Amino acid sequence: MMVVILEYRIDRRSGVPAFQQIVQQTKQALRLGVLVPGDRLPTAKEVAETSTVNPNTTLKAYRELEREGLVEPRPGRGTFVRRTLGRPETGTESPLYAELVAWMSRAAGAGLEREDVAALVTSAMEKQYAAGNAAATGSTTTGPTGATTTWRTGE
């Protein structure tokens, strides 16, 4: 029996559909290198057992990931990772990260609270990615809680 690499953690109160949380958490795992090409995603049965998530929800999430070309189903064997989402720009060594850290420090210097910063970041993010977001997630809007769920995977 293969080891289950990833355990999904579904926030039942976030208002973000469970299948979308699975998509987000899988992508986060791909970004962080927790999942690498060739890895097998947990089966719908395994996710059902460990996280009591409806198997149809998991399959829906995997179909979405497949559509984006991130994973591929191999009949009778499971769903496997095709490519990673890790990019040099997303690491903590990237200049973008350094700029963000500097910005955070200016925000703190200006007396902004954690919530103020989160609100600004979310709003700027919405402004920049609004169109792309809609295309990727269908009719449902992803709120700040959705983002929180994604970050939690990294813990």
Distance in angstroms (rounded) separating the CA atoms of residues 82 and 59: 17
Closer of 25 and 31 to another protein (Cβ): 25
Residues making contact with another protein (CB under 8 A): 10, 12-13, 15-19, 43-46, 48-57, 138-141, 143
Amino acid at 1: M
Minimum CB–partner distance for residue 32 and another protein (Å) = 24
Minimum CB–partner distance for residue 23 and another protein (Å) = 13
CA dihedral 119, 123, 125, 129 (to 10 degrees): 150
Could you give the 3-state DSSP secondary structure of residue 145?
Answer: helix
Closer of 51 and 84 to another protein (Cβ): 51
Regarding beta strands 71-74 and 78-81, do their DSSP bridges make them parallel or antiparallel, or are they unpaired? Answer: antiparallel
Closer of 54 and 105 to another protein (Cβ): 54
Closer of 17 and 28 to another protein (Cβ): 17
Could you give the 3-state DSSP secondary structure of residue 40?
Answer: strand
144: number of Cβ within 10 Å:
16
Minimum CB–partner distance for residue 39 and another protein (Å) = 20
Minimum CB–partner distance for residue 105 and another protein (Å) = 30
Minimum CB–partner distance for residue 140 and another protein (Å) = 5
Closer of 17 and 65 to another protein (Cβ): 17
Distance in angstroms (rounded) separating the CA atoms of residues 67 and 127: 25
